[in-house]
Homo-oligomer: A and B are copies of this chain.
Amino acid sequence: MTVRAAVAGASGYAGGELLRLLLAHPEVEIGALTANSNAGQRLGALQPHLLPLAGRVLQETTADVLTGHDVVFLALPHGQSAAVAEQLGPDVLVVDMGADFRLRDAADWERFYGSPHAGTWPYGLPELPGARAALEGSKRVAVPGCYPTAVSLALFPAYTAGLAEAEAVIVAASGTSGAGKAPKPHLLGSEVMGSMTPYGVGGGHRHTPEMIQNLSAAAGEPVSVSFTPTLAPMPRGILATCSAKARPGVTAESVRAAYEKAFADEPFVHLLPEGQWPATASVTGSNAVQVQVAHDPAAGRVIAVSAIDNLTKGTAGGAVQSMNIALGLDETTGLPTTGVAP
């Protein structure tokens, strides 16, 4: 099979990571590459690490340019995907790496994004219960947010197994690429190196309703989420430290068993041996997820920690994994499973 793929938004970090993965994908041929303000520029000037594509010139993001591909990846600012997707026809696989089609609740969307809700597409986190089936053969995929990917994978087994109370407390550290490539003073290297700082504290981060949606589905009841993201001095990676009160009777053994069962057949999620904890460097550039879980009897909590690469499993790798499933390819095709470490 040769899959012809177009990428709308090829000059940003998500688009760049996607192209890095697609270059190594044996079934994909890279077609049109588009951008907004960067249209007309050589990709080599904007993504100097994508050496095999250095000579490619970015086109305008129009339906004409994107038409004629088997897959179109949208790495656009939120709110722009629906208009593009509509023009591409129902037979083209459209993989939206933005937020537009992730939420099921229109009110949630409107409260956090301030614009009309575009709809809901099959959700590209195949490891969640039922998600894989919804992706198979689908022509539309909503790629999850990076934080929800890390947090949902860390906590859903505790909820599906009924081990945890419905109040999750999450503190996550993200590399700076999660904040995008648009230059802002607080993202300057001078500012971020040597510093950690929180943002969107107190429920304000747009990824919160997506986490609530995933964890509530796993729990079968509404789960509240206290989410504090922090910006860490590294380019990539998310470390999500997640906890919830343990239900009565929970033990270290029951927690371990639930997680072993949840991830037993997952090709990308690695429940680490007891005593070893996730590190973001171990998954840099890979689609792998490291998870570890513990029971703290003194504090009465279940603590689960996950590490992902926000750009790979958290964005572009998740997109390719979902594409593979949607197209009937082996789910792991073209996706790196080893981190670039040290």
Contact = CB atoms under 8 A, between A and B. Distances in A.
Interface of A: 13, 16, 20, 23-24, 42, 44-45, 47-52, 54, 167, 169, 171, 173, 175-177, 179, 181, 183-185, 187-199, 201-203, 224-228, 230, 232-237, 239, 241, 243, 245, 270, 272-273, 276-286, 288, 290, 292, 294-301, 303, 305, 307, 336-342
What's the number of copies of this chain in the assembled complex?
4
B201 A305 contact: yes
A201 B234 contact: no
A91 B96 CA distance: 53
Contacts of A191: 189, 235, 281, 342
A298 B49 contact: no
A121 to B, nearest CB: 26
Nearest to A336: B24
A233 B192 CA distance: 11
B189 A188 contact: yes
A235 B296 contact: no
A298 B232 contact: no
A75 to B, nearest CB: 15
A342 to B, nearest CB: 4
Given A16-B341, A169-B169, A228-B303, A176 B188 contact: yes
Contacts of A339: 49, 51
A236 B342 contact: yes
B235 A232 contact: no
A190 B13 contact: yes
B189 A300 contact: no
Given A54-B270, A296-B202, A342 B196 contact: no
B185 A193 contact: no
